[in-house]
Chains A and B, each alone.
Chain A
Amino acid sequence: MFGKYKPMWGEKTQLKSSYDVVIIGGGLHSLATAYFLAKEHGITDVAIIEKNYIGFGGAGRNTAIVRANQRTQYNVPLYKEALDLWPVLTKELDYNLMFNNCGNLNLMHSEAAMKAARMTIATAQFHGVESHLIDAKEAKELVPALNISEDITYPIHGAMFHPPGGVVRHDAVVWGLARGAAKHGVEIHQQTEAIAINTSNGKIVSVETSRGSISTNKVLISAGGYSAGLIYKMLGIKLPISVLTIQAMVTQPVKPLLNHVVSSGAYHCYANQTLKGEIATGAHMDHWPNYTTQTTAHYIKHQAEALSEFLPCLRGLRFMRIWAGLADMTPDMAPILDGNDQIEGFYFNCGWGYFGFKSCTASGKYMAQFMADGEAPDMIKPFNLKRYEQHKLMGETAELVSYTPNN
């Protein structure tokens, strides 16, 4: 009933000596950009260069939460579009991305937080995104496991409830997009490392890889947490990015217990139940730059302490596995989508922090348009690099910038 088992993203091929577009990084943003370049803009002579295997980085390490309740007017429409694209892509790619539209519950632990949530909710509603402020009792009705007593470090005052959000199967997105892109002619070269980018007269001319040189005049770096380091190393462009290690973990699988994504800023913690039944939980980062994907004893303990307070029944479950990935944080918690400026033909897409999964579909769509036209579409124009020197931080976080990455 499933036919013959064929390679999903084409047989391994030789690397050609030239491509119209070279994309460095085999994660979600790269795969989505390649897919849209090929499908929407007819640019099919595209090579994706991935040092490990597709989905090695953040794409395979995130906990796949999707939502569109960002804080500011530039971000909400972008994330809304990304959210709307899941069912569309499921159909287009003919691959079950397993969008579980369970809704997200963001807990508030003080009167001040409730007020801050109102602004985010108003912004969502103004842009046609459903989001509501609910009180602690209503939150408990949605998530019976919640502890709404006063007897915890951060008592729950209420929550921001965002019904359109949920969880997507992250691996499915990687494999589905890879298959879709390959169908349209995109070549995916795994185990291939980009070593250098050559420019001439301010223009891109070629990319050196571990498997030889490729001449091209359009390059995109969208290598997730590795982008900032690569861009500086290869082209000397510094970015306002701090690469931090972010961790997540799962418990042993149990029958349905949590029917929504629950998150808490005060506890630095979110939890949701995967389709397999595991409680996936995470959020914390050590606040210093790292390229390590090692986990910490400190954090798994912290997470247990937090969950013990606001979802106390989970005390009877066991953690089974903790892992880590990279989050490239910007001071304003908004990404940098830029290109064709510092160097002609050079594009970059990074700084998504821990929002890289939920945004990948829209980011790919607009970066593809950007690369096809050479000019940034309105939707992503505000996300340029210049905003930092123009004192125009985006305010996705209210937090002031300090000397240390503080998210």
Chain B
Amino acid sequence: MVTRITQLPTLRIDPAQKVVFDYKGKDYAGFKGDTIATALYHNGVKIFGRSLKYHRPRGLYSLDGECSNTCMEVDGIPNVRTENTLLKQGMKVKEQNVKGSAENDMMGFIDKLDFMMPAGFYYRTMHKPAVLWPVAMKQIRKAAGIGTISPDFEMPGRFEQIFPSADVVVIGGGPAGMNAALAAADKGLRVVIMESRPWLGGFFDYRTVDYRDSEYKKNKQLYIRAKELASKVESHSGIRVFKHASVVGTYTNNLVTGFQIGGEKDNFTERYIEIRAKSVVVAAGCIERPLLFENNERPGVMQVGCVHRLARTYGIIAGERAVFSVGHDLGLEAAIDLFDLGMKILCVADVREDGQNPYLMIELAKRNILLLKGWVVSEAHGSKRVKGVTMTTLDGTISRDFECDLVAASAGFTPINGHLTLAHAKLRYDSHTNFFVADTMPERTYSAGRMLGLEDSLSIEVSGMLAGLKAALECKKFYDAGICKTSDGVANSQESINQLSSEIDTVTAKLKELPGTARGSKFVNAPVKGRKSFICFDEDTTIKNIKQAVEMGFDVPELIKRFTSAGTGPGQGGIPGHNLPLYVAKYTAAKNSSSGSHPKPTNVRPPLVPTFISTYAGRKHIMMKRTPMDQMQRADGGVFRKIGVWERARYFSNDFSCKKEIENVRNNVGMLDGSTLGKFRIHGPDALKALQRVYVSDMSKVKAGRIKYSAMCNDDGCVIDDGVVIKLGENDYYFTTSTARAGSTIEWIRYHTRFDGWDFYLVNLTDSMGVINLSGPNARKVLQKVISQDNDASIQDVSNEAFPFSGYREFMIKNTIPVKAMRLGFVGELSYELHVPSSYMVSLWNMVKEAGKEFNIQNFGVEAQNVLRMEKCHIILGQESEQRTNLLDLGLGFLWDRTKKDAKTIGAAALRHAENDPTRFRLVGFKMEDNGRAPNDGALIVDDKVRGYVCTARDSFTLNEAVGMALVESHLAEIGTRLAIFEDECKGELIYGKVVPMPFYDPDGRRMKS
């Protein structure tokens, strides 16, 4: 148990509130505000897990999730970064990737076998002999992966999503980000600020005095300044603050995505956030660059910031005897502050020979802290945790050993550039800051703060203010250009833009007078002989591995990353992101004895922070359309299926052969909900011209009171749609499309007339009109009954003479319900289609049902319709057609009017080119030989090759035999041709059919037409 400091003003824990949790089956306690890892560390846990490849012990190293060292299983969820996951009451925490325990892992011996596993060793082993590989692969799979998840795991919690709108998004709630947010919001803009930690403040939050800046020293401590800024930001009406919210993606046109972790009072566990902003300020700060030395990931080695924040934020003094090996002033500052908090510091090695801030030197001297300039840690000792270190001069000539249990090591800083590069900033290596800095910025994006290389506290604040003003100016320009409407309170006069510009000039001048970018620490590779200096902790990639890769011809960092896996683990490049390109540049330069090549950064990819699939998914929404008769059909026992955008009644019993439904249509009368059909009105001076363009038939021949069946083709001549057209008046038509095409018909017609400048209106009536299909020998009697309430005698007459096949009538039922009635015959029986406004559908449905009772009216579903129409050889597009079949192949050539060339009808040219081609498919009808069963849909027609396939085939109850339609090569299309049918799983046993004339049922159409 480590004792805590409980009285610091910077603490983010509440020592008064205990939080009890379960670690490996035992109860432990931490404090409210602890992360899981800080609570464990407080309880003396030093080894959190074992590494992926070598099973090396791993401990707390960072506090912001830069590596997977502290990944553990929490409440059944693998790979939880315990170092920045807040501790909650009752959590169940387990180690990962261990056999035994993290402390005593039986797989630990693998660490000694590294010589067998050089870079890319698996590509060169285990494949000889071939039988070895499947066995080896199983072992690899078992060894790989950290953490487990059960196949029936159910993610607990509530996941939400929000899409707020904003003028300016500020990424990072540190001093620069807060200043940017305030500057922009003060100009009347709507600002969103995203901060990944649960509080605002950034790296001011845990610092007291910036010793280097006398100005600040005079004023106040940095953490107080942070609190001041935070309260301004949080109380500003123009700023929406998302705390504990990481940005995971930035995209062109200023789209920013992230997620927020819910607090105690929130009604979500996590929520996905997506914001389209007008401009973006990135003030994401820096992370530390790891120092490369032997055993540089041994538990007890920590980032300086980690050691510092453990003390200042969590009240934990991380070690009894500490040594520091740093390369920057903040490392010295941390040592001073930690010394004052009671840490015993044996020495501070600084890789810099000179250039340290004099104020810091004075403070170190005051405290008698041993400072070794030009020194660096070269090796950590101790098998499971640090027991000592060797320090050496940079050239390795002098060395000294120290006994210690804590090594605070940091080579320098590296900016968090991911937010910029994802939005396409181009990076350049800057030799002054030793940072990768953005050379070209994304549009309307500004960066501020430490990531620019600034270290001076006031400079950081002012740079944030400047970025905020620049972002504000861009937004104002946007409003002025009229691209967007002004939101409340935004003055958009030219005057305000001028004012803003001059304000920007003033702040720019002010920033110039403050200290500029700091000189960054150079890349240093401690003089080491050993094999275990890790460049990537997650993947156990050593410097030696990188050398091997370079020797083998991989000279681009991105490729080395692939070959050695460095940076592809759960830490997502946090550890090797900076060191890998630098090391490769240095090594290749040495190898080619060139003066030095420019380091090329590896690619950063979203999500910048690993993000739960449940968080991205947000709340589940299944959105399907339902017809007006949905409830009634469900009440009647309809079995519903999702078909396209609709839920439709496919069956009305669990007999999926639909025998009863089919027989009832053939013998009595059935009703089908046809409301999903596409329904349209086109009118206006050029309506007919538009129809001539899209329909293959001559639409000028549509007669009043009649329906015309026709088809639309695509430019290949393939049928994309079929339906009926009714003339309502001059240049005024009502037409139907298939269900699938309802959503794209207007778009299609507009597309194919886009150059013509024609004047017509198109209205999609699909959802506003419902359709009842009434089919069967008794259909007329039912219809007669339904409309008999009507007064007009001529309308009441629905006899075959008055309302013949292909006829169209309009009438009112009870003087209220307007009906468009069509006499059709898709299922091959006497059949009416009643199109009625959706609001009346329930009434009409009940009336039809009531009227049909005495004729034994029954529902029928989509599958029954499918069989009925197949017996009649009426096609369904997509079932009897596909990409390789055109209008002519389907035998629908009679629909095509070849005289209307001026219409430039879609598909006509292709039909002309292909019409005499003998090698095309033809649609044929077939019966099975010897009264055999129907083949499966999709069975092949074969000889020594595939010659076609079965589209639809059924054992017909009506015909008492098996019939079907098939698309076959034209030489097999002759009546009487024997078709050899190859079904799946037939094991070579073919079945045979014979081509017969179509249709099978009621060939002269008497039932349909009388």
* Cross-chain contact A398 with B883 (CB below 8 angstroms): yes
Which of A110-118, A203-211, A367-375 lies at the interface?
A110-118
Q: Is A42 an interface residue (CB 8 A)?
A: no
Give a binary string over B356-376; 1 marks a CB under 8 Å from any A CB, 0 the rest: 000000000000000000000
Give a binary string over A314-327; 1 marks a CB under 8 Å from any B CB, 0 the rest: 11111111110000
Which of B312-320, B469-477, B981-989 lies at the interface?
B981-989
Give the complex CA separation of A10 and B559 in angstroms.
Answer: 17
Of B76, B643, B913, B983, the contact of A110 (CB 8 Å cutoff): B643
Please name the residue on chain B nearest to A131 by beta carbon. B984
Q: Is B942 an interface residue (CB 8 A)?
A: yes
* Cross-chain contact B946 with A5 (CB below 8 angstroms): no
Of A55, A118, A253, A317, the contact of B937 (CB 8 Å cutoff): A118
Give a binary string over A116-141; 1 marks a CB under 8 Å from any B CB, 0 the rest: 11111111011000001100000000
What's the minimum C-beta distance from A368 to chain B, rounded to whole angstroms? 24
* Cross-chain contact B718 with A400 (CB below 8 angstroms): yes
* Cross-chain contact B883 with A393 (CB below 8 angstroms): yes
* Cross-chain contact B122 with A98 (CB below 8 angstroms): yes
What's the minimum C-beta distance from B830 to chain A, rounded to whole angstroms? 29
Q: Is A199 an interface residue (CB 8 A)?
A: no
**Chain B residues with CB below 8 A from A226, complex form:** none
**Chain B residues with CB below 8 A from A295, complex form:** 249, 605-606
* Cross-chain contact A252 with B610 (CB below 8 angstroms): yes
Q: A276-B144, A315-B612 are in contact. Are A100 and B137 (CB under 8 A)?
A: yes
Give the complex CA separation of A206 and B274 in angstroms.
Answer: 51
Please name the residue on chain B nearest to A314 by beta carbon. B613
**Chain B residues with CB below 8 A from A319, complex form:** 607, 610-613, 616
Give the complex CA separation of A171 and B150 in angstroms.
Answer: 30
Give a binary string over A375-399; 1 marks a CB under 8 Å from any B CB, 0 the rest: 0000000000000001111110111
* Cross-chain contact B76 with A316 (CB below 8 angstroms): yes
Q: Is B123 an interface residue (CB 8 A)?
A: yes
* Cross-chain contact B78 with A316 (CB below 8 angstroms): yes
What's the minimum C-beta distance from B169 to chain A, rounded to whole angstroms? 13
* Cross-chain contact A122 with B940 (CB below 8 angstroms): yes
Please name the residue on chain B nearest to A144 by beta carbon. B151
Which of B6-14, B250-258, B515-523, B575-583 lies at the interface?
B250-258
Q: A252-B79, A332-B883, A401-B715 are in contact. Are A118 and B148 (CB under 8 A)?
A: no
**Chain B residues with CB below 8 A from A317, complex form:** 78-79, 149, 612-613
What's the minimum C-beta distance from B556 to chain A, rounded to whole angstroms? 6
* Cross-chain contact A115 with B938 (CB below 8 angstroms): yes
CB contacts under 8 Å to A, within B862-903, are 863, 878-879, 882-884, 886
**Chain A residues with CB below 8 A from B152, complex form:** 144-145, 313
What's the minimum C-beta distance from A192 to chain B, rounded to whole angstroms? 14
Of B141, B151, B155, the contact of A275 (CB 8 Å cutoff): B141
Most chain-A CB neighbours within 10 Å: which of B570, B883, B982? Answer: B883
Q: A320-B607, A322-B606 are in contact. Are A7 and B553 (CB under 8 A)?
A: yes
What's the minimum C-beta distance from A330 to chain B, rounded to whole angstroms? 11
What's the minimum C-beta distance from A105 to chain B, rounded to whole angstroms? 14
**Chain B residues with CB below 8 A from A275, complex form:** 137, 140-141, 144
Which of A33-41, A304-312, A342-350 lies at the interface?
A304-312
Give the complex CA separation of A7 and B592 in angstroms.
Answer: 14
Q: Is A95 an interface residue (CB 8 A)?
A: yes
Size of the B side of the interface (Cβ < 8 Å), in residues, is 110
Give the complex CA separation of A321 and B148 in angstroms.
Answer: 19
Give the complex CA separation of A96 and B607 in angstroms.
Answer: 31
Give the complex CA separation of A136 and B714 in angstroms.
Answer: 36
Give the complex CA separation of A275 and B122 in angstroms.
Answer: 11
**Chain B residues with CB below 8 A from A164, complex form:** none
* Cross-chain contact A125 with B614 (CB below 8 angstroms): no
Q: A96-B123, A154-B642, A317-B613 are in contact. Are A322 and B607 (CB under 8 A)?
A: yes
* Cross-chain contact A7 with B572 (CB below 8 angstroms): no
**Chain B residues with CB below 8 A from A99, complex form:** 133
* Cross-chain contact B716 with A323 (CB below 8 angstroms): no
Which of A212-220, A254-262, A352-360 lies at the interface?
A254-262
What's the minimum C-beta distance from A195 to chain B, rounded to whole angstroms? 22
Please name the residue on chain B nearest to A253 by beta carbon. B145
Give the complex CA separation of A133 and B937 in angstroms.
Answer: 13
* Cross-chain contact B274 with A297 (CB below 8 angstroms): yes
* Cross-chain contact A257 with B151 (CB below 8 angstroms): yes
Q: Is A149 an interface residue (CB 8 A)?
A: no
Please name the residue on chain A nearest to B752 by beta carbon. A403
Q: Is A234 an interface residue (CB 8 A)?
A: no
CB contacts under 8 Å to A, within B46-105, are 52, 76-79
* Cross-chain contact A171 with B562 (CB below 8 angstroms): yes
* Cross-chain contact B617 with A315 (CB below 8 angstroms): yes
What's the minimum C-beta distance from B384 to chain A, rounded to whole angstroms? 24
Which of B124-132, B389-397, B766-774 lies at the interface?
B124-132
Q: Is B680 an interface residue (CB 8 A)?
A: no
Task: Determine the main DSSP class of B at the interface with A.
Answer: loop
Give the complex CA separation of A289 and B394 in angstroms.
Answer: 54
CB contacts under 8 Å to B, within A273-321, are 273, 275-278, 294-297, 300-301, 303-305, 307-309, 312-321
Q: Is B717 an interface residue (CB 8 A)?
A: yes
Q: Is B930 an interface residue (CB 8 A)?
A: no
* Cross-chain contact B153 with A8 (CB below 8 angstroms): no
What's the minimum C-beta distance from A297 to chain B, rounded to whole angstroms? 5
Of A55, A257, A391, the contact of B917 (CB 8 Å cutoff): A391
Give the complex CA separation of A117 and B936 in angstroms.
Answer: 11
* Cross-chain contact B79 with A318 (CB below 8 angstroms): yes
What's the minimum C-beta distance from A126 to chain B, rounded to whole angstroms? 6
Give the complex CA separation of A169 and B137 in angstroms.
Answer: 12
Q: Is B109 an interface residue (CB 8 A)?
A: no
Q: Is B910 an interface residue (CB 8 A)?
A: yes
Give a binary string over B237-270; 1 marks a CB under 8 Å from any A CB, 0 the rest: 0000000000001011001010000000000000
* Cross-chain contact B617 with A101 (CB below 8 angstroms): no
Please name the residue on chain A nearest to B138 by beta carbon. A256
* Cross-chain contact A91 with B130 (CB below 8 angstroms): yes
Q: Is A175 an interface residue (CB 8 A)?
A: yes
Of B249, B424, B606, B617, the contact of A305 (CB 8 Å cutoff): B617
* Cross-chain contact A296 with B141 (CB below 8 angstroms): no
Q: A7-B551, A276-B145 are in contact. Are A96 and B718 (CB under 8 A)?
A: no
**Chain A residues with CB below 8 A from B137, complex form:** 98, 100, 275
Please name the residue on chain B nearest to A120 by beta carbon. B938
**Chain A residues with CB below 8 A from B622, complex form:** 152-153
Which of B25-33, B113-121, B328-336, B666-674 lies at the interface?
B113-121
* Cross-chain contact A253 with B144 (CB below 8 angstroms): yes
Q: Is B641 an interface residue (CB 8 A)?
A: yes
What's the minimum C-beta distance from A40 to chain B, rounded to whole angstroms? 21
* Cross-chain contact B556 with A53 (CB below 8 angstroms): yes
Q: Is B495 an interface residue (CB 8 A)?
A: no
* Cross-chain contact A118 with B123 (CB below 8 angstroms): no
Of A175, A256, A402, the contact of B145 (CB 8 Å cutoff): A256
* Cross-chain contact B126 with A96 (CB below 8 angstroms): yes
Q: Is B657 an interface residue (CB 8 A)?
A: no
* Cross-chain contact B642 with A398 (CB below 8 angstroms): no
Please name the residue on chain B nearest to A259 by beta carbon. B141
Q: Is B218 an interface residue (CB 8 A)?
A: no
Of A132, A176, A297, A394, the contact of B251 (CB 8 Å cutoff): A297
**Chain A residues with CB below 8 A from B145, complex form:** 253-256, 276-278
Q: Is B44 an interface residue (CB 8 A)?
A: no
Q: Is B801 an interface residue (CB 8 A)?
A: no
* Cross-chain contact A1 with B884 (CB below 8 angstroms): no
Q: A110-B643, A155-B642, A312-B154 are in contact. Are A254 and B718 (CB under 8 A)?
A: no
**Chain A residues with CB below 8 A from B1006, complex form:** none
Q: A87-B130, A122-B938, A254-B149 are in contact. Are A304 and B984 (CB under 8 A)?
A: no
* Cross-chain contact B883 with A126 (CB below 8 angstroms): no
Can you list 11 A-B pairs, Cβ within 8 angstroms, ordered by A? A72-B946, A118-B936, A125-B982, A254-B78, A257-B148, A277-B146, A295-B605, A305-B616, A320-B572, A321-B606, A402-B714
- 4 additional A-B pairs beyond A5-B547, A253-B52, A255-B142, beta carbons within 8 Å, are A116-B938, A301-B272, A317-B149, A398-B883
